[in-house]
Amino acid sequence: PTRRSSDLTGRQYKRIHIVGGGQDAMSLARGIADLQDGKRPNHPSLAIFDDWNEVLEFVGSELCDEEPELRLAVQLATRYGAKKMIATLAHCDTPETRAHTILSTMHRSKGREWAQVTIGQDVKDPGFDELGNMVPVPPEEMMLFYVACTRARRVLDNGRLGFVHRLIGQVP
């Protein structure tokens, strides 16, 4: 029989692979579960927090803009629960060559290609200033967005990177 795993919403997927392995995400999910259970977390991104409420406060602040992985993990834990995250990650161990779905960060996608790519929802739109102009995107981020958008051979769902089209329209 084909082994199935389900994502956090309960949808079934046949085979999932995480580029670079899911150890980092698993460690973060376990740290979140510890904090939610009133225990001290054993994860460096969470070690400074005394309780779950401090994490929620931090994630809601601009200070967390430099920690997008933490923000996403906390959002998932808030919506689905850390234990469901842990259970889901435990089933994302299919070898890449046999996987139906491959999860990757933009950084880890460099040099790879897939037939279809969907950009995740954790990319932050730069927004507009008080005059209505788009806030400039640092060149390093634009290069990373370029890498992410050029991984698809046939189909690209650019998700939250749709703002790049607005930027291109502003280039003289």
pLDDT tens digits, residue range 109-160?
Answer: 999 999 999 988 777 778 888 998 888 888 888 888 888 888 999 998 887 7
Residue-level pLDDT at 169: 58
- pLDDT tier at 56, thresholds 50, 70, 90: very high
Q: How far is CA 7 from CA 10, 49, 74, 80, 95, in A?
A: 5, 28, 16, 10, 17
Choose between 122 and 2: higher pLDDT. 122
Q: How far is CA 96 from CA 50, 51, 88, 157, in A?
A: 38, 37, 17, 21
- pLDDT tier at 172, thresholds 50, 70, 90: very low
* Per-residue pLDDT tens digits for 62-108: 888 778 788 889 999 999 999 999 998 988 889 999 998 899 988 89
59, 74 in Cβ contact below 8 A? Answer: yes
Residue-level pLDDT at 74: 93
Q: Could you give the CA distance from residue 109 to residue 20 in angstroms, rounded to a whole number? A: 10
Mean pLDDT of 29-33: 95
Residue-level pLDDT at 171: 45
Q: Inform me whether the pLDDT recorded for 29 exceeds 90.
A: yes
